Structure formats: C-alpha cells, structure tokens
Amino acid sequence: MERKIAIIGAGVSGLLACKYTLENGFKPIVFEARSGIGGVWSQTIESTKLQTPKSFYQFSDFAWPNSVTETFPDHNKVMEYLQAYAAHFNLFPSIKFDTKVTSIDRLVPSDEDEHSWDLWGGTGKPFSSSGKWNVTVQEARNVSSATEAYQVDFVILCIGRYSDLPNTPDFPMNKGPEVFDGKVLHSMNDDLAAELINGKRVTVIGFQKSAVDVAAEVANRNGVRYPCTLLFKTVHWMVPDYFLWSTFRSLNRWTELIIHKPGEGFFSWLLALSLSPLLWLSSKVVESCLKWTFPLKKYNMIPGHSFLNQISSCMFTVLPRNFYDRVQGGGLSLMKSRSFTFCKNGLVIDGETTPLVTDIVIFATGYKSDEKLKNIFKSTYFQKQITGSSAPLYREGIHPQIPQLAILGYADSPSILRTTEMRSKCLAHFLAGNSNLPTIKEMEHNVMNWEKSMRLYAGESYRRSCVSVLLQKYSNDQLCKDMGCNSKKEKMVFG
C-alpha cells in the first residue's frame, strides 16, 4: 500500500526531506506558502550572506559550483545553489507553491487511547493502520479562498524558526507604535528596501544576526548624515568571518574528547573532566582576542556571559565587515538600554532625558517560533506537548508524544544544512521500515540527558532546541548508529 507523506515547507529542510523520501520510494507532497523554494533565503536583506563557511553549508551529494569562489557566498548565490539542487534531483514536481497549511489534525478511532502507549504510535513504527493526519490548506494569496483537506499517513514539519510570526515587545497603553508618527517594521518585512531607508533616521532594535546585518546595511547606505542607531538590551559576542572559518576547521574528533556528552561512559566522563580546563582556557583566549582586536570596552560591548556559553547555545553572530569602523566614523551609533517606549517623534529610552528622534524603527527581535509550531496543530493536547521554545525532540526531530510526525530544521545549529541532512537521511531510513524507535520513556530520557548536557556548557543561555558546534560529530554518530552504519567510515557522514 502506498503511504502518503506531507511535507510542510520548501526551505532547506523541506527540500532535504523531499529528496530523501523520494529516494526511498515515497511520493511526498510538499506544501509551500510562497511562490518559490528557499525559505528564509528567499526573503532577506541584500547584504545577507552565509555565516557558515560554504564547505560546511553544502549538500553531501551536490557540491557548490566552481564559479562560487568566496568562502561566505551572499544570499543570491545561496538561492541559486538551492534552485540547482532542487532541479538536479527533480524536486519541483512534488511541490505545491502558493499553498498555505492552515492546520494539521490527527484522526484516530474513538476507542484508541494514544496516551497509554509505551511505543511511539503504539508500535514504534512510522505508520499506523488506523491513525491518519488531516492537512488543511488554502491559497496563500487569497485568505477568503475555500480550504481543502489532504489525508496523509505521515507529516514532516519543515516550517523553520525564522519566519512568519515576528516577536515584538509589548508596550504600555499609549506608549507603543500607535503613538509614533514614523514607520515601524520587522526585519522580515518585504518592504524593507533601500528606497525606504535612504535618507532616513533609522533605529534597529535587537542584537542578533539580523539586527547587526540590518544596522550595518543602513549605516552603509546613509553614512554619517543620517546615522543608524542600534538599540539593544543584551550584548553578545560577535566574531569576524575569518575567525569562524578557523573555528570550524579546528573541530575534529579529538576536540570532542574534552566535551561531556549525553549518556557517556565513565572513561569518557573522566577524560572530559580532566581536560575541561582546556575548554575554559580556549574560551578565555577567544574572548581576549576579541577584546584586543575590537574596541569592545570603549563602546561597552563586552558581554556578561562567556564565549563558551554562547556557542554552546548555538548563538553565532558574525560581525559585519567594517562594523566598528562605521561606529567610529559616526555612521552607526550603539545604545544599550533595558527598556524603551514610543513617543510622537521617536523613542523614549530608559535613563535618557531626551527622546531619540527617528523616522523608522525596525524590530530585529526574532520570531515566535514555538507559537508558530504550536498553532499549526488543531489538537489542544498536541499544542500543550509542543509548547516551550526548547521543543523536546528525540534526535532533534521526533516528539515522543506526537506520533506519525517529524520536525526537521527546528533545531539550531551552526551548520544547519548538515545537521538537517543527517536527520533527513535517518528519517527516510526509518520511514522505509529499516529501523524502529525506542519506547516513549526511553526517548524522553534521551531528550532529558541531551538537554542536561547542553545546559552544562550553555548555562542560562540555553533556551532552544540546539545541536551545538561542540557536539556536531557526536550527534551524527548517534544517527549513524540508528541507521546501522559506521560513522567513521561512511562517506555520508560529515567529519
């Protein structure tokens, strides 16, 4: 019997899920709300480029073309690469563009008690003889259009973390954007274009990747005549791209010996404990280098957490070229504040006596990814299970309490393409009937150990599903064991 698989989203994760399910004999249907593939890469500012060296952002069976010589290609070249990948593996016929999934709902017989199961889906296998999913869709460009339901055997959610539902702060009554005479945007907005910001006083809110990228681009366009202000609450370590390249090159199986790993044996625990001073020392050396290279102390830009905490929670922010040159030249102003409110002509900053006059405010404050994930479920039970930004996923892809469903691309990683490709391969292997899942309790115990290990190094910085740079190879090893392959020999494994 032919099993029906629905994949929601045609970003990098959706393309990988489609490719590997096709290879294993399935005929997936991919629902994509936009008119093209690429996910976040299809909707970004002009200056956006890879933060990961391209050799670490490369499909295992489809290399970058020789014409792309730079280490960190821009978003246009990334999109060309993704388009070429989809065309090469004939993925486009499986994709329904301009089709938005409004909800998914699991259909089970009334006498079936899923909550009492010991095994995922009752059997530990990918498909159920009784349970199905209803995937409800409608035309993305016509919110009043009629909905249509597809009944499928398995759902793969590839909706990502960085799109659709912006995260913006709440403000007291009459102190929010409604009293501001200027324009308020989020970094996800399509109309965040050059003609909008040229010759305008712009304030960017936030301090993650999108915030510093947007601020740098505005400062580059407007110069000192219309300085851009970057307003933020918390400072993070930002590293130059050449530093990131050397960091990735230095990672190998020897470096993982100094890391405590989930479920490690006594010898591994003892070895990691004895070598732990090297990890602490490495973090301090990096911090010292960044303080020496950039004027962090001068501009009060030294974070309150360690570099180790940050990379362990997958918070990598690449410093845009000439960032501090723009600051020193007057084209970019850095302002730290715990809170602010709006007024008629700008922003009232906590601790400041005069308002910050501005024409445009751009929120680059991230997305409500956990809410987006939760809201796609019709079942309140599943909504409660998925609530929480850490999203407890076994192998960063399977929720122990939600059967016949996988979530790909939700876990953060400094090498997200590689991380997701390994999980796509493992999922397709599972769907093809070549492996079973552990019991629900065993999966939940595994998730608990993984999070405990992450928090050991990330501390309070850990707040989301993450495969840190320190555990890339170990994570892949676990997936290879699931598939019955030798991770140190198989070409399919990265590293």
| Contacts (Cβ under 8 Å, ≥6 apart) of 431 | 3, 5, 21, 24, 26, 126, 154
Tell me which residue of 476, 466, 465, 424 sits closest to 14, measured CA to CA: 424
176-235+317-362 has the same fold as 5-164+368-483: yes
Question: What is the value of pTM for the model shown?
Answer: 0.89
| pLDDT computed for residue 114 by the predictor | 64
Mean pLDDT of 442-470: 77
Asked whether the predicted pLDDT for residue 40 surpasses 80, the reply is: yes
pLDDT tens, residue by residue, 182-199:
999 888 765 556 677 889
| pLDDT computed for residue 493 by the predictor | 39
Joined tokens for residue 317? 């922010």
Asked whether the predicted pLDDT for residue 224 surpasses 60, the reply is: yes
Task: Measure the CA–CA gap between 13 and 420, rounded to whole angstroms.
Answer: 6
Q: Where residue 251 falls among pLDDT bands split at 50, 70, 90?
A: low
Asked whether the predicted pLDDT for residue 471 surpasses 70, the reply is: no
Joined tokens for residue 403? 């059967």
Asked whether the predicted pLDDT for residue 253 surpasses 80, the reply is: no
**Using a CB cutoff of 8 Å and minimum separation of 24, what contacts does 271-275 make?**
none
Stronger pLDDT, 135 or 47, i.e. the higher one: 135
3-state helix, strand, coil in the chain (%, to 5): 35, 15, 45
Q: Where residue 490 falls among pLDDT bands split at 50, 70, 90?
A: very low
Kindly state the helix (H) or strand (E) to which residue 430 belongs, with its residue range. Answer: helix 416-431
Superfamily of domain 176-235+317-362: FAD/NAD(P)-binding domain (3.50.50.60)
Mean pLDDT of 351-380: 88
| pLDDT computed for residue 248 by the predictor | 56
CATH class for the region spanning 5-164+368-483: alpha beta
Task: Measure the CA–CA gap between 442 and 438, rounded to whole angstroms.
Answer: 6
| pLDDT computed for residue 94 by the predictor | 98
In the DSSP assignment, the letter for residue 37 is S
| pLDDT computed for residue 494 by the predictor | 39
Asked if residue 312 lies in contact with residue 462, where contact means CB atoms within 8 angstroms, the answer is: yes
Mean pLDDT of 228-239: 93
Quick one: what percent of the chain has pLDDT higher than 90? Answer: 48
Asked whether the predicted pLDDT for residue 13 surpasses 60, the reply is: yes
Q: Where residue 480 falls among pLDDT bands split at 50, 70, 90?
A: confident
For the chain, domain boundaries: 5-164+368-483, 176-235+317-362
Backbone angles phi, psi at 231, to 5 degrees: -105, 125
Asked if residue 427 lies in contact with residue 156, where contact means CB atoms within 8 angstroms, the answer is: yes
